[in-house]
Structures are given as structure tokens and as C-alpha cells.
Amino acid sequence: MIDDGCSSLVYDIWSCVLFRAAPLPTRQLCKTLRPPSSRAGRDCLLPPRGSYLYLRARLCSTTMAGKSVQYKVVVKTGDKKRAGTDANVQIILHDAKGQKTKAAKLDNFLRDDFERGQIDKFTVKDTVSLDEIHQIELWRDDAGLYSDWFCDYVEVTIPRKNQEFVFPIYRWIRPEFHYEIQHLDTFLPQNDPHKAQRDMDLEDIKQKYQYTQRVPGLPCQVKAIPDDEQFSFDYKWNIAKRKLKMIADSKLQLLTKGGKWEGIQDLTKVFTSAFGEPLGCKRWSNDIFFGWQRINSMNHSLIELCTEVPKKMGVTDVMLQPFLEGWPLHQVIEAKRLFMVDLEILQGLPCKSEEYVCPVPIALFFVNGDGRLVPIAIQLFQQKADDNPVFLPTDPPYTWMMAKMWYNLADASFHQSITHLGYTHLIMEGVCVAFHRNLSQSHPLFKLLAPHFLYLIAINTRGLELLVAPNGWVDKTMNIGIKGMFDLIARGLNRWRMDVHGTLPEDLKRRGVYCLNGKVLPGYYYRDDALLLYDAIKTYVTKYVNLYYDSQEKIENDWEIQNFGRELTLSREEGGCGLLGVPFEDKFDKPEQLIMVFTSIIYTCSVAHASTNFPQYDEYAFPPNYPASMNGSPPKDKKPLTEEDILATLPDKKTTLDVMTVTKILSDRGTNSLGNFEVQYIFDPDAKQIVQE
């Protein structure tokens, strides 16, 4: 028989062909000839398959009855909490000529469709043959116990043409609302054919992403974490559970009872296979490694060229001469071989209680004949005084070692508060909120930036709840505690400028260490590698921005990008992020402004964060190497000290284990590498080519 979806007409069609009758309209033909009552009866009258008459019959069937056309539909449900749905989902396919299919329910028999993170495939049949899929209508009802639905994208293929059309969604689908999504869905707001739908979505998002300032002086954050930002899986980010498992696996439960360390060697025995030995364990006392920490470890952006020894530092040329390899001090300065770090921002910083101290050091460093940066002088507080000596490499070994440890405590306080949490987490959260509030999912720059905000709000929320909370991890493992940390973040925020601290080349120039040939501060591998990555990101952003903004008018008429710039610069008191150094004076009007802003954001969320976050275990896990907590007070003279004096300053076993486990978890790489996005938002072929480059 002819299996063409119209089997009831088989007998009539065959009769028409057999007697060479002129084809009748389908309805009239059905009334004129009645088919046999059984399949066997019909089959007995059909010609053999493959025969001339059989093929004529199929042709006649197509001509008279209309052929069913198939479309393959692929739907990706988002990998978010509560993203899956039990609702009924329907779709209509449109071409650009006004033709469309009937509404088709997307449903696979005996299959639970639209589960979280799932890709579902459907076949849609219709009598309308579309040569292209220009637009889809997508909607759901409110049926089922769980009807909410977050859809990532829809792909439609026309098998007979082998053409695929992609419809990015990336939004929660409200019930009984017909979303109209065009192929690729990438429009500046002034060019979007569905402006009302776009504005409606943005208004909903603004209700979900509202600003708050959790602590006075800190950057703005999201008021309540939206469902879009929730972790879809908890275990990986459940620090408390992972700590317990790690301790159990390492068989170090005895350390949870506390107690003092018996010796430096005693410390090294705790690094079982479950943890691994941190890099700082074997090189912590080495001066070359101490210099290396300043330029290639987590806090790599404080070092600056020294053009004059600070007058507040109680050091003389004679004191420094033994460490300059025979060079006069003025020649060392002229040759750009003298560098310094001044942590004056810590002056007057409160600690968690009066028994704890945070130094405010200044240190000088010299590039020796081997091109290595080494420390040559450390003053632990700002103003020279008899009880604030300048420590030198020729001091008694444990005294010099103690000075370096107290310096590193100050450095660690700055690192965790400003370099890590303040600059790469909290400031960027405010930017993320402004981004969602003002850029539609259909905006090309939304698609550019969205992958770099993955998990940012969720991580910040989890971190503040578990780590930076009263009596939490920071209070237990850092001298400054959360009181000092919040104070320090506020100080850093008041200094941070997007066009300086957020723009790598400008930050390097500010510190006098911008150099492309390595002659100034050789071995500054962070600088050398980061500049390559910064340039790659800037090139990528430049091509992308220029693809969509080929005229000044397009920028000026893009009200979404203008609103984004306005909220970035609006003061926190007025409901904005209050960022300094954003190239927005009343409006964006040049591509270069957008390129700078988006390069800065992507660089900060990727390269800057990775470089300051992932080395944490290697640095913090062995307390003498990079202590965030020390007992007692910094030395006030240069009398010889002993290993027992060093041990007395170290945190106990329980605190050390707490530092080990949390920094080990924080050092795990939980997201993909730069450019290999977990979620792909960009489908425009020209833009995809830029990403691939």
C-alpha cells in the first residue's frame, strides 16, 4: 500500500490511475469511491511495488492529498535549579514570507522531556513546506507540579535541505506567553523587531537583580540571589562537606583537636597524598623565592619601581651597599634595578582583637646580577623609630626569617581582602548586576560577556555566608578578621579605577614596570604572560565590538548600553555601582570606550582572578611560607631568634588544617579555561569566527 500518511485514499487513488480517469478533488473522490473495508482488500488491488503504476499512484497521492513535511527540533533545557518543567510546550515555525506551521506539541512518548540540563529531540510534521525557518513561536502552559522552565536554545533542521537554524533563548519561559525568537536572535535594541517582548523581559530581570550594599563602604552586590545564578549542583561548592571529606580521606582528624607544632619538620608531615605538598614547603626561607612571591605569586601587582628611597624608611646607603653587588645606590636606581612595595594602605587597620597585630611594612628589592629579585631591606611599620628597625639579609637568620614572615602576613591580608575578594569578586558582582539589569539576552554584548560571569554571584554568596562571616573562616585564620577585611576592601574600592587598576598596561605603567623586552624587572613572568593574554582579549573584544558597531550612531542610539554605562558610574548612594575610571561621560560614543570596558571586565574575571586564586594552597598551606595569622608581635629589635620563636608565632594545628582544607578547595579549577565556555551564547556565524580565532 502507499504509506503517505493518507492511507484512506489509497483505493480511490489507485482506481483513478487504473482507469485513467481525470483526478478529482480529494473530498469528491472520497465520496465517489469507497475503499475496501480491510487492509488486505486494499492491498489486493494495488500494483506491485516499484512498478510504473505503483509510482504513478504515489505521484497522484502527493498531487492530490498534499505531502507531510518533517522538521527536526532540538531543545536544550538550562542547567539551573528548577529549570526543568512538566508543562506542555508548543512551537510554531515561521518563514520570512509569512508562512507558518500549525502549533505542534513537543512531546516524546514515554519520555520525561525538558529535564534540567537535558537535550531533547522532536519531529514536527506539517503540510506547510518552509524553505527556511526565520522565526519560532515558543510557549508553555501551567500544567504539572513543576511548570517553570528555563530554555537555553532551540535548533530546527529542515532534513530535505539539510539546513539548521538556531534560536538562542536563555530565559525563563513564562506560562501562556508566545515568545517570538528570530534566527540567531542577536540585535541591538534599536533594531529588534520584538521591542515590547524585549522590554518586558528586562523589566522582569530588573526585579530579580536589585542592588544592595551588605556592608557600608563595600561594593554593591545583588540583593537576593536569583534562580538564574543558583548552583545547579551543590557538592562541588559545598565547602563544609568537602572539608570533612578531605580531612577523613587524609586521616588527619587528630589535627582537629588543636595543639602546638613541635618543630618545622613536624609541619611537613601533614601533607598526605590527599593534599599534596605545597610549593612553599621547601623554599619558604629562600630570599630568591621571597622576591619571586612579589612578582609571580598571588599578590603580583604591588611591586613598583623605586626612584628614591622613601624618607620614612630608616635606611642609609651604607646599610644597603653590601647587597648591591658593588654598585652605588644612585646607579642602581638609574639602571632601574631597585624596586619597592609600600603597604601604607594598612595603616590603622583594625584586627579581630587587641591581641593580634597587622604590620604596615615597606620593603626594598634589588635585581641582582643573575636577574633575580631579592629583598635587601624590610621595615615592618611606616615611620622610622628606634623600636622599628630596618631588617637586613645579614641579620641573624631566624630574625631575618621572622621579619619576612611578618611582612608576608601584611601581604596576605592585602591579597585576600583587596586583590582577591575585593577586586575580582565583589567589584565584578556589581558589574554583573548592572549587566543583567540593562542588557537583554538578545544584545550582542550580553552574549560576549555572559560566559565570564558564570557562578560569580553564587560563589560570592556562598563565600560570604561560609567564609567571610562572624566567627567564620576569615575570623579564625587571619589576624585582621572580617572587621579588618571589610575595612581594607572599602579602602581599596576608593582607590580602584577601571582605566588604571582594571587595565593591565596602565597599571604596569603606573608602577613603572611596563616593559615588553624584559629589561626592566626581568623574571616578572606574570607581567609578560598577562600582557599576551590581555592583548588577545582586547583583540577579540575589538573585533567583536566593531562587528556590531560600525558607526557612532549605533552606539549613541543603543539605549541598553547607555543605561549600562550609567549604572556603572552612578554612585552607590544613588543606586549604581559607583565605579571610578569608566570612560563614560554622559554617554558612550566611541567603540574604543566599549572595548576598554569589556576588555577590563573579561580580563578581571578570567586572568586576574585565576592568577590570584588558584595558587592559594601552594602559598598558604605551609604557615611559615605565607601566614595570614601569627601570634605575638613583630620584633622590635634585631636580637637573635630561634626556631622556637618562629614556632611560637605560628597558628595551632587545628587552624593550620582549616587553612589547608579551604585553600585546597579554593585552588581547584571549577570552570573551563578561557575561551572554552561552559555555556555557548554566541551563534552568529561572523561572531563565532571571532571566538574561534
**69-185 in CATH: which number?**
2.60.60.20
Q: Would you say the CATH fold of 413-617+670-692 matches that of 69-185? A: no
- pLDDT(106) > 50: yes
Tens of pLDDT, residues 572-591: 999 999 999 999 999 999 99
Answer with the residue of higher pLDDT: 258 or 684. Answer: 684
Mean pLDDT value of segment 670-676: 71
pLDDT of residue 9: 34
pLDDT of residue 242: 59
- pLDDT(23) > 80: no
Mean pLDDT value of segment 529-541: 98
Distance CA(514)–CA(89), nearest Å, equals 57
pLDDT of residue 651: 95
pLDDT of residue 7: 36
pLDDT of residue 34: 32
- CB of 359 within 8 A of CB of 630? no
Element (H, E) at 204: helix 195-208
Among candidates 201, 172, 179, 205, which has minimal Cα distance to 83?
172
pTM greater than 0.95 = no
- CB of 182 within 8 A of CB of 193? yes
- pLDDT(2) > 50: no
Tens of pLDDT, residues 368-421: 999 999 999 999 999 999 999 999 999 999 999 999 999 999 999 999 999 999
So where are the chain's domains? 7-65, 69-185, 413-617+670-692
pLDDT of residue 233: 58
Tens of pLDDT, residues 634-651: 999 999 999 999 999 999
Statement: 413-617+670-692 belongs to CATH 1.20.245.10 = yes
Buried b (16+ CB within 10 A) or exposed e, 78-90: bbbbebbbbbbbb
Mean pLDDT value of segment 337-355: 98
**pLDDT band of 262, cuts 50, 70, 90:** confident
Question: Exposed, middle or buried: residue 115 (CB in 10 Å: 0-12, 13-18, 19+)?
Answer: middle
Pairing of strands 119-126, 135-140: unpaired
- pLDDT(35) > 60: no
Mean pLDDT across the chain: 89
- Kindly report which listed range (68-72, 538-542, 666-670) carries the lowest average pLDDT score: 666-670
Buried b (16+ CB within 10 A) or exposed e, 319-329: ebeebbeebeb
Tens of pLDDT, residues 298-334: 999 999 999 999 999 999 999 999 999 999 999 999 9
- pLDDT(570) > 50: yes
Tens of pLDDT, residues 650-659: 999 999 999 9
